[in-house]
Amino acid sequence: MTEYQALVFFDLDGTLLGSDATIPKENKQAILQLKKKNILPMIASGRSPKEIKQITAETGIDSYVSLNGQYNVVENQVVSKHAIPIKQINELMTFSKSLNHSLACYTEDEYAACYSTKSMEKLYQLDHAPLPRISLDFHEKNEIYMVYLFSEEPEKDSLYRQTFARELTFFRDSPYSLAVVLSGQSKKSGIQQVIKRLNLNELPTYAFGDGNNDLGMFEAVQTAIAMGNAATNVKEQADFITKSHVEDGIRFGLKHFGLLD
């Protein structure tokens, strides 16, 4: 394994990605320059490994904390993964159906939903991602690492958190959805697992993000960098605020900390 000089974690949506949900050429060049300097660029995202690999195909990135810390990989090697028990998924399906909310279950490389809803369609349109196929038994035939709950009713989020407080954690990551993972898992725990497993505790660590599910990531690194387009509460938790994701904010932040020439 390379003797790295630092670790840099990037959220995708609203951070490393441009307005068209692809990585701008300036960011691709920045990542390649980091790798040449033996600085390890890692994705930290709620997206699946398959999506991450498709999005970053031209960057050489082979390391990521995916599905909000549920499936974590360094140099194409899995360092930790956390499947959600079928019992918990079935209980969540029953409860969510009573509120007319659908679910999508995620493995490391595919996903399927119970049934289609408008909220589901809006989320995948927002992410520029294909709609999930419909399957009622997908979770019974596959290891599930994350669940997406489709809801445009944030006032009901607390019902889920109260009902499943011991088993599951819910992150509202868009107006249309909540990411659901095992209790105690998050981008923060995924990053911590990567650093510990690779014995890289002494390295400088940085993270770029813009959303509420990036706050845990900020807690896991030495230097937290909020994008200019980040929510106010996210900026308040950052050590530095760079420019927005459509104003070359990634390179601006990297240069500010001397990670790029």
- Sorted by where each starts, the structural domains of the chain and their CATH numbers stand as 6-81+185-256 (3.40.50.1000), 86-182 (3.30.1240.10)
Catalytic-role residue among 11, 173, 210, 214: 11
The answer to whether the CB of 111 falls within 8 A of the CB of 104 is yes
Query: What is the value of pTM for the model shown?
Result: 0.86
State the pLDDT at residue 197: 83
Q: Is 62 a catalytic residue?
A: no
User: How confident is the model over 105-130, as pLDDT tens digits?
Assistant: 999 999 999 999 999 999 999 888 89
Task: Over range 12-27, report the average pLDDT.
Answer: 93
Of residues 199 and 62, more confidently modeled: 62
Closest CA to 37 of 3, 73, 74: 3
Task: Over range 71-80, report the average pLDDT.
Answer: 93
The answer to whether the CB of 101 falls within 8 A of the CB of 133 is no
